[in-house]
C-alpha cells in the first residue's frame, strides 16, 4: 500500500474518494497566518461516485467534450465507452477528475436558463 500524504500529519485524514481533508475542519496554525494548507487536497482521486452505465462527458482532442457510458470502474481509472462521428466504438481510461456526469451538466444548464 502506498504511503499516505497524511501519515505523519494528525490534522488530516484521507476520505474514501481520495481527498485529503482536515480533521476538525480548520487549521489553527494556517488560519492565523492566512495561508492555504499545503497538505489539503479537495480533488477526488478515486472513482467512487460513478456507476456502470452512467452517462458521462469527457474532454477529447479538439472536439471538445465527448459523451459516453461508464463501462468499467477500476481502483484509479474509469473506463468510458463512446462512439465517434464515423460510428466507431472507442474505450478511454480516464481519471475521475477528468470525467463529469451528464446530470451535473444538465442541472447547471437548467439553473442558468431559469435565472436568465
pLDDT for position 36: 66
What the block records as the C-alpha cell of 26 is 480548520
Cα 7 to chain centroid, rounded: 23
The stretches of 18-75 forming alpha helices (DSSP H) are 28-33
How far apart CA 57 and CA 55 sit, in angstroms, is 7
Instruction: Please answer whether residues 4 and 14 qualify as being in contact, where contact means their C-beta atoms are separated by less than 8 angstroms.
Output: yes
pLDDT for position 51: 86
- Structural domains for the chain: 1-45 (no CATH), 55-115 (2.30.30)
pLDDT for position 81: 94
pLDDT for position 1: 44
pLDDT in 10s for each residue of the chain, 116 residues: 455 666 667 778 888 877 888 887 666 554 556 666 777 877 777 777 788 888 998 888 876 888 999 999 888 889 999 998 889 999 999 988 888 888 755 555 555 555 55
How far apart CA 18 and CA 44 sit, in angstroms, is 5
- Torsion sign, CA atoms 31, 10, 46, 111: negative
Amino acid at each position: 500500500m502506498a504511503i499516505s500524504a497524511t501519515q505523519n500529519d494528525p490534522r488530516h485524514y484521507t476520505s474514501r474518494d481520495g481527498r485529503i481533508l482536515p480533521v476538525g475542519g480548520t487549521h489553527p496554525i494556517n488560519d492565523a497566518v492566512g495561508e492555504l494548507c499545503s497538505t489539503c487536497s479537495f480533488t477526488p482521486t478515486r472513482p467512487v461516485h460513478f456507476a456502470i452505465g452512467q452517462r458521462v462527458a469527457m474532454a477529447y482532442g479538439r472536439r471538445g467534450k465527448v459523451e459516453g457510458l461508464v463501462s468499467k470502474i477500476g481502483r484509479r481509472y474509469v473506463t468510458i465507452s463512446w462512439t465517434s462521428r464515423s460510428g466507431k466504438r472507442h474505450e478511454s481510461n480516464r481519471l475521475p477528475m477528468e470525467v463529469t456526469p451528464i446530470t451535473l451538466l444538465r442541472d447547471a444548464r437548467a439553473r442558468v436558463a431559469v435565472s436568465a
